[in-house]
Structure 1
Amino acid sequence: MELGYQIPIVALILIGCMLSFTIVTTFMFRSQKTSADYYLAGRKVNSFINASAISSDYLSAASFLGVAGVAFLYGFDGIIYALGFFTGYIALLLFLASPLRKFGRYTVPDFVSERFHSRKARVLGVIGVLFVSLFYMAPQMLGAGKVMGLLLDLEYGTSIVIIACIITFYVTVGGMKATTVNQLVQFWILFGAMFLLAFIPFMVKGYTYTDVVNFIATFKGPDPQTGKIFDGAAYTSPAYWLTNLKDTISLLLALMFGTSGLPHILVRFYTAPDGKAARKTVIYVLFLIGFFYILSPYVGHVVRYVYLQGQTMGVSPHLMTWLAENGKNLAVPVAGSQFGGQILLGIVVAGAFAAILSTVAGLIITCAGAIGHDLVVNVFNPDMSERSRVKVARVASICVGLLGIPLGFWAENMQIAVLVGLAFAIAASTFFPVLVMGVWWPKMTKGGAIAGLITGIVGSFFMILGKGLLPTFLQFKNPGGFVMILTFIAIYMVSKMEYSSRGEDALPPDTQEVMAILHGPEKA
């Protein structure tokens, strides 16, 4: 254990209370008679509760730990993540929230399959959901390992196993109803923690944003821990993104439109009673996460401010070590310890824990839906009874939940927000173009949908995992925007070619009826 480190008892108590609540809630909602109960909480979640649950689902370890961490690490260059994460919900509100709920299915693959009457599109949709969700789960497990290590001085691997087992248990038993209630509580814990982290330095300590930025901008000297020269002028200037417009535009497009393609976010709109409630939910979400994303970059910059002054600001040696070695992921817990001691550190660690639990739970439910509902039931056994469907959902939840363990090991040395940005890249490349064209362009064909899914999945796979094999001009830090444009082009070109050769026969026979459902008035 590091010198000066104390196990945060307050954090243990708060997390113990949160886990106790989670267990009680899980057993209260352990009975699900239908798959709609398990996956969608019976479609009866009101707008404010749904907005809190969606915000909790969305404000993952990437937002709670990662945005402040990127701001601490890169300065103004890091604010692009907060901007992109927030504006994504505006696109979701404008283009997809209400029409998808009116369509009234369970999952994203449901939409592409039934909109275009294609089993192949459903299978590709399942592959896309798993690709996005597992890529998104990896940084959550990374955050879990870091936070649990901070909390109990545990080894990273041990922390990953414990977290994976806890989340898998409560999702498997409680389904979407328990997950929604738990996400509601978890959101207000993590939001309250971030609010306190900004309120205390700003209102109590008097660290205005102007003072913080001015000090950092004029600082040029050795890093207090590493001795490397720190250039404050470069830190407070968006220099990197302005000189690398290719990467900047691609990243912003990925973050903005990836939100509208995240399966674990989209599925929550199916839990709303109707399209009007879905729209109302998004408006609530915009207010909640907008406020959050104003606070988190400020916290990251304040942590850099106190770090540069080190002993002058009374920062303890072990906190300085945490920042020097892993400030990209631990800036938020350090802020808690620095500005509120064990009590605020406890609240912050509980908030980080809540963010991780909430997001991973949502991802497990989504992947279980893709495997159980879309693949096992709709592709292999459409006549399966509702009781058997719930059993399949639970088995799928266990399998997906335990996958979090190897994913956590894989992500150990990465930066949380950057890794989540790559999950957004896959979502923007794969689902956003297919969904927005499927909802708004009546002349989109089955072949166009399949071409779009293949382009998004294969293109993002190779540009992320095979980046080193590509020529320099095709190497992006985040390829989401570039591949998304290719996907739109593939959908348009294939649909136009099919329509030119076959005319109206190239379109699904019920296109007009579907468009009337998507854009018409709500059914009484």
Structure 2
Amino acid sequence: MNPAYSVVAVTLVAVATLVIGAFGMRLSRTTSDFYVASRSVSPMLNSSAIGGEYLSAASFLGVAGLVLAFGADMLWYPIGWTAGYLLLLVFVAAPLRRSGAYTIPDFAQVRLQSGQVRRVCTLLVVGVGWLYLLPQFQGAGLTLRTVTGAPQWMGVVLVATIVVVNVISGGMRSITFVQAFQYWLKLTALLIPAFFLLHAWTLDGSPAPVADGDWFQPLGSGDGTSLYTTYSVMIATFLGTMGLPHVVVRFYTNPDGHAARRTTLIVLGLLGAFYLLPTVYGVLGRIYASDLVAAGAADTVVLELPSRMLGGTLGELMAALLTAGAFAAFLSTSSGLTMAIAAVAGQGLSSWVQRSDHRFVPRLSSISALRIAAGTCVLVPVTLALLAEPISVASSVTFAFALAASTFCPLLVLGIWWRGLTARGAIAGLVGGGLCAGVAPILTIAVRPDGWFGVLMGQPAAWSVPIGFALMIGVSLATRSAIPANVSRTMVRLHTPERIDVDRRF
């Protein structure tokens, strides 16, 4: 593989990202511009931006690697990641937009009137964001090393730097344009090489990838753990989507609840079209690149196939295009995550303090606080990406989904649809579900337990999500006297279309 083409591809993506971000910077003036793009993003633009940030390294590289290594049952991952938007459409999208919040902690405070719930949500947003950022940075280092031979740290630092520059320059307004561009770049980067690869496979006359019995290999080891693992993956991916901070924050940028629903419908179509393509690469990889599994490099199959199947200048050009798409995946998802973390951390930095004359003033302006938070919040995942042992990008992202499904999913669903939720109940569910889903990946990575215990830790959603829901409901029922006094007004605001003036009805 000629590294010169890939270096040019990465450079072009980086420059395009910065130029588009600079265009957004010219339009960003107010706090609302930086945090939610003034709630004026159209459904089509917002859908493309959501597709750009949601289709991460796990989607671009990880799905193909899973199909290569384990077969067709790994398609539960992209199915779950897509179907999660259907549940988000039904339960969350429109009411969340009507809440008027900027972030998940904002929603929690509006709904439950509790600063403690807000602080717990802030910590969890940071935790989910760091857990999701880690595989993006690791994937960037792996990709750059694979295609150019550069040190792995270079890809990590490059992506982190570009992301921070875009976020601090124009906030949500900038990254909306960047992510929309990057969705279509990623789709093109997979689609064009896939055409040439399928044509080459047809001319080559190679047999089907594997025998039927091997192709449908169940999730897990094939014994009694397989059914549990399958359902746990489904729970994590179906319910985790509505709890991902960088996904939820995009719905605050819609003009109203109706636009939020339209956005979600378009996103379903965009994701469904995209996920057809990594599957193709995984299938072809089982014919031409099966050795990558033994080498522990299954995640690189998308990048390796053009040189193996096409060769020559055409293969190098297609590999460079795929490299560009992979870097777009790292940049777009990392931008959304950094923005989500910086938004909640920045609100803490800009909170009000009392002066000696008893007047309250902000520590920092909201925009300055967001910029400082963006620059500092990426340091932890960057450090972990440089020091930690690389793990499968899809597995790491699934841990983030399990954590979001065990914490924010119960909070949003119960907060929107059940007036009986109390602040104490929310804290109990957030802490309990968060500890269960948060300790599991630490044990899995550090100890690597085996047997049933290893399976339960490796896929915690099947038991951590019910614990999160049960704690929120149980403690709320035990503290009914603490239901917020304004809950009726809040629930009406969440569920009443914007064309009806709620304030005049109350």
TM-score by length of 1: 0.87
CA gap of 1:26–1:449, structure 2 versus 1, over 3 A, is same
Give the drift of 1:75.
1.1
Q: Does 1:423 align with 2:404?
A: no
Structure 1 equivalent of residue 132 of structure 2? 136
Distance 1:469 1:15 in 2: 35
Pairwise CA distance, 1:411: 4.5
The answer on 1:394 being equivalent to 2:358 is no
CA distance in 2, matches of 1:368, 1:34: 16
Which residue identity lines up with residue 328 of structure 1 in the other structure? A
Establish whether residue 28 from structure 1 lines up as the match of residue 28 from structure 2: no
Whether 2:476 is the aligned partner of 1:495: answer: yes
One-letter amino acid of the counterpart of residue 430, structure 2: L
Q: Deviations over 1:152-178 (max 9, x none)?
A: 311112322222222212222121111
Contact residue 60 and residue 326 of structure 2 kept, 8 A:
yes
Secondary structure, in 3 states, of the residue corresponding to 2:391? Answer: coil
Q: Is the 8 A contact 1:142 1:412 kept in 2?
A: no
What letter matches 2:82 in structure 1? F
Match of 2:494 in 1: 518
How far apart are the structure 2 equivalents of 1:285 and 1:242? Answer: 34
5+ long unaligned stretches in structure 1 = 219-232, 309-319
State the shift of 1:279 in Å: 0.5
Does residue 1:486 correspond to 2:467, yes or no?
A: yes
Q: Aligned residue for 1:325?
A: 295
The match for 1:223 is none
Q: Is contact 1:68–1:332 with CA below 8 Å preserved after alignment?
A: yes
Q: Share of identical aligned residues, percent?
A: 33
Are the aligned partners of 1:463 and 1:479 in contact in 2 as well (CA < 8 Å)?
yes
Render the CA deviation track for 1:226-269: whole Å, top value 9, x for unaligned. xxxxxxx3343326376322222122101111011000000000
Number of equivalences: 485
Within the candidate set 351, 376, 380, 2:325 is matched to 351
* Contact residue 22 and residue 169 of structure 2 kept, 8 A: yes
C-alpha spacing 1:371/1:306, structure 2 compared with 1 (3 Å):
same
Residue pair 1:323, 1:330 contacting (<8 A) in 2 also: no
Aligned residue for 2:71, secondary structure, equals: helix
Using the alignment, how far apart are the partners of 1:336 and 1:520 within structure 2? 53
Provide the C-alpha distance between the structure 1 equivalents of 2:77 and 2:450, rounded to a whole number of angstroms: 26
The answer as to whether partners of 1:171 and 1:364 remain within 8 angstroms in 2 is yes
Aligned-partner Cα distance in 1 for 2:247–2:425: 24
- Where 1:237 maps in the other structure, the secondary structure is coil
Counterpart-to-counterpart distance in 1, 2:81 and 2:136: 16
Q: 2:346 aligns with which of 361, 368, 372?
A: 372
Partner AA of 2:258 in structure 1: K
Q: Does 1:102 align with 2:98?
A: yes
- What's the offset of the Cα at 1:137? 0.3
Contact residue 35 and residue 386 of structure 1 kept, 8 A: no
Q: Does 1:13 align with 2:8?
A: yes
Query: Distance between the aligned counterparts of 2:199 and 2:258, measured in 1?
Result: 39
Mapped partners of 2:380, 2:203: distance in 1: 43
The change in CA–CA distance for 1:383 and 1:183 in structure 2 (over 3 A counts) is: farther
Say which is worse superposed, 49-58 or 294-303, in terms of deviation: 294-303
AA matched with 2:399:
L
- Tell me by how many angstroms 1:200 deviates: 2.9
Matches within 5 A, 1:445-464: 445-464=422-441
- SS of residue matched to 1:17: helix
Q: State the Cα distance separating 1:478 from its structure 2 match.
A: 1.4
Q: In structure 2, what is the equivalent of residue 440 of structure 1?
A: 417
Deviation, 1:113, is: 1.4
**Whole-angstrom distance in 1 between the partners of 2:67 and 2:405:** 24
**Which one-letter code corresponds to 1:424 in the other structure?**
F
Q: CA deviation at 1:20?
A: 2.2
Of 237, 240, 247, 2:217 maps to: 237
Aligned partners of 1:207 and 1:522: how far apart in 2?
57
Shift of 1:85: 1.1
**Match for residue 504 of structure 2?**
none
Q: Give, as a single letter, the amino acid of the residue that structure 1 aligns with 2:136.
A: Q
Q: 1:38 to 1:336 in 2, by over 3 A?
A: farther
After the TM superposition, list the runs of 4 or more consecutive aligned residues in structure 1 that deviate by more than 6 angstroms. 469-472
The answer to whether the 8 A contact 1:137-1:407 is kept is no
Instruction: Provide the C-alpha distance between the structure 2 equivalents of 1:347 and 1:386, rounded to a whole number of angstroms.
Output: 46
Question: Which AA in structure 2 matches 1:7?
Answer: P
Which AA in structure 1 matches 2:331? L
**TM-score normalised by the chain length of structure 2:** 0.90
**Could you say if the C-alpha distance between residues 307 and 217 of structure 1 is closer, same or farther in structure 2, counting changes exceeding 3 Å?**
same
Q: Distance in 2 between matches of 1:334 and 1:454?
A: 43
Q: Which residue of 1 aligns with 2:211?
A: 217
Measured in 2, the distance between the counterparts of 1:85 and 1:522 equals: 30
For 1:196-219, what per-residue CA distance to the aligned partner results, in whole angstroms no more than 9, with x for missing partners? 3433333564389xx98844117x
Q: Is the 8 A contact 1:53 1:180 kept in 2?
A: yes
From the superposition, tell whether residues 63 and 410 of structure 1 become closer, same or farther in structure 2 (CA, over 3 Å): farther
Query: Is 1:248 the equivalent of 2:242?
Result: no
Q: Which residue of structure 1 aligns with residue 161 of structure 2?
A: 165
**Partner Cα separation in structure 2 for residue 387 and residue 422 of structure 1:** 34
Once residues 407 and 45 of structure 1 are traced to their aligned partners in structure 2, the CA distance between those partners, rounded to angstroms, is 34
Moved more, 393-402 or 196-205: 196-205
Tell me if the contact between 1:213 and 1:236 (Cα under 8 Å) persists in the aligned partners: no
Change (3 A) 1:33 1:174: closer
Structure 2 CA distance, aligned partners of 1:392 and 1:234?
53
**Which ranges of structure 2 fall in alignment gaps of 5 or more residues?**
501-506
Q: Secondary structure of the equivalent of 1:30?
A: helix
Please say if residues 81 and 237 of structure 2, whose CA atoms lie closer than 8 Å, have aligned partners that are also in contact. yes
Q: Deviations for 1:26-69, whole angstroms, at most 9, x for unmatched residues? A: 33333543221112111111111100110110000010010111
- 1:360 counterpart residue number: 334
Q: Out of 165-174 and 281-290, give the one that drifted further.
A: 165-174
State which of 287, 294, 306 in structure 2 corresponds to 1:305.
Answer: 287
